[in-house]
Structure 1
């Protein structure tokens, strides 16, 4: 059975950026997954899908949620945020917890991130995209999206 209506919500508010233009080859060349990116301008990072938090970096810069269909969605906050070792990012949940789409997962202290000149382009990726067909970015490049409200990716399994 195929589901054509799987939606991934914007985990953070901001402007949609094409993944190929992200200034980090790990993301632009799709080495860690396929999806899109958001130039973040919000401080709340929400769960993009219903599922279990299956990965949460100690540095709090990225997490992944695996849905009931087995698709794992990775949210990576900014580029080079790992160098801050968690400074400016507060975790609100942990690995193993079940969450619903729209649940706050992280809170960002934007002034701290800006002080450290962190590029807030935030990739939203399907890590195991071999499980997915027809991955489609939902909004147009450059469009503003609202966290927890707007769909950024649609896929079929």
Structure 2
């Protein structure tokens, strides 16, 4: 009964682009939800931001992904592109400091789209709640095109 009053939380678009279902991501780790549940964005932008307020727990050494821990306990991963770890950091610039508290919309990573795309990499970006077993319910906001740091893309409740 008390679960009815659990707070709704939201994640904002970490980048400009088009929302797509995780099942369409051309990487089984994401499409089969092995790393968590959420959405993917076929990104059109070059700046990737924090989707919510929280601690910037990890920025991967190659700057192709970052993870956050939110105050509600949700653990969020933003993975920029598919197989982009193979670029070993080329085309990615870190704009924030790992371990710091950030606000929703804070720029975290800037990319060189032309370079990454010229090397044949997709910039489909999964946005996952990696501890999705702690989530009571999750709803993807029905929208096709999203604006970085402004549009809500996921609504969820913690258990």
Q: TM-score scaled by structure 2?
A: 0.94
In 2, distance between residues paired with 1:3 and 1:104?
29
Deviation of 1:114 (Å): 1.1
Give ranges in structure 2 of 5+ residues lacking alignment.
Answer: none
Ranges of 4+ aligned residues in structure 1 off by more than 6 Å: none
1:55 alignment partner, one of 52, 55, 58: 58
The residue correspondences of 1:59-70 to structure 2 (distance < 5 A) are: 59-70=62-73
Aligned pair count reads 155
Return the alpha-carbon distance in structure 2 between the equivalents of residues 84 and 98 of structure 1. 28
Is this contact kept in 2: 1:53–1:66, CA < 8 A? yes
Gaps of 5+ in 1: none
CA deviations over 1:100-155 (Å, ceiling 9, x no partner): 00000010111111111111110000000111111110124xx0000000011010
Aligned equivalent of 2:133: 130
Q: 1:3 to 1:101 in 2, by over 3 A?
A: farther
Matches within 5 A, 1:17-96: 17-96=20-99
Which residue number in structure 2 is paired with residue 152 of structure 1?
Answer: 153
1:59-101 deviation line (CA, Å, top 9, x unaligned): 1010011110110110000001100011101001122111000
Partners of 1:95 and 1:113 in 2: CA distance: 23
